[in-house]
Amino acid sequence: MQFCDECGSMMHADGDTWVCRSCGYEELRDSASEGAMTTTEGQEDDDVVDMSEVEDTEIGPTTDARCPNPDCDGERARYEMKQIRAADESETRFFTCVECGKKWREDDN
């Protein structure tokens, strides 16, 4: 993967040139440095994981949370917490309703 020296965006290969789609910066490709790059070319991710027979307790923690889907009366949700903002701010909580699968998030404001 190559990143733009001007704006930091990911660059895309266009023949023998790297092109930034954000700012238009161009740079010649270097086959020696590209040999060390990891690509997703030729990788397949078609494996479907069957979770139908997995116990809820094995999937992750749940908590009391009212589902925001108006068509669902679910009051339990799986949750996960991630630090997606600045380190001095609280984590964001991501929920998935165990009844309907609706996903939502909560931030401390």
pLDDT per position as a tens digit, 51-99: 667 666 666 788 899 999 999 999 999 888 888 777 777 888 888 898 8
Report if residue 72 sits inside a domain.
yes
For residue 19, is pLDDT > 90? yes
Instruction: Give dist(CA 109, CA 97) in Å, integer.
Output: 23
Q: Is 72 annotated as a binding residue?
A: yes
Is residue 63 one of the residues assigned to a domain? yes
* Helix and strand counts by DSSP (H, E) for the chain: 2, 7
At 90, list the tokens.
């609280």
23 known ligand binder: yes
Structure tokens that stand for 10 in this block: 């990911």
Whether 68 has a binding-site annotation, put simply, is: no
Residue 63 annotated as binding?
A: no
Q: What is the DSSP letter of 97?
A: E
Binding residue per annotation — 20?
yes
Instruction: Assess whether 60 and 100 both reside in one domain.
Output: yes
Q: Is 97 annotated as a binding residue?
A: yes
Does 61 share its domain with 96?
Answer: yes
What integer pLDDT is reported at residue 71 of this predicted model? 92
> Is residue 21 a part of any domain in this protein?
yes
Question: Domain containing 12: what range?
Answer: 1-38
Whether residue 66 sits in one domain with residue 27: no
Asked if residue 7 belongs to a known ligand binding site, the reply is: yes
Please provide the average confidence, as pLDDT, over all residues in the chain. 82
Helix (H) or strand (E) holding 31: helix 31-34
Domain count, the chain: 2
Top pLDDT among 36 and 46 is at: 36
CA–CA separation, 29 and 33 (whole Å)? 9
The residue written with tokens 């996960």 in the block is: 80
Do 91 and 81 form a contact (C-beta atoms < 8 A)? yes
The verdict on residue 44 lying in a domain is no
Q: Is 95 annotated as a binding residue?
A: no
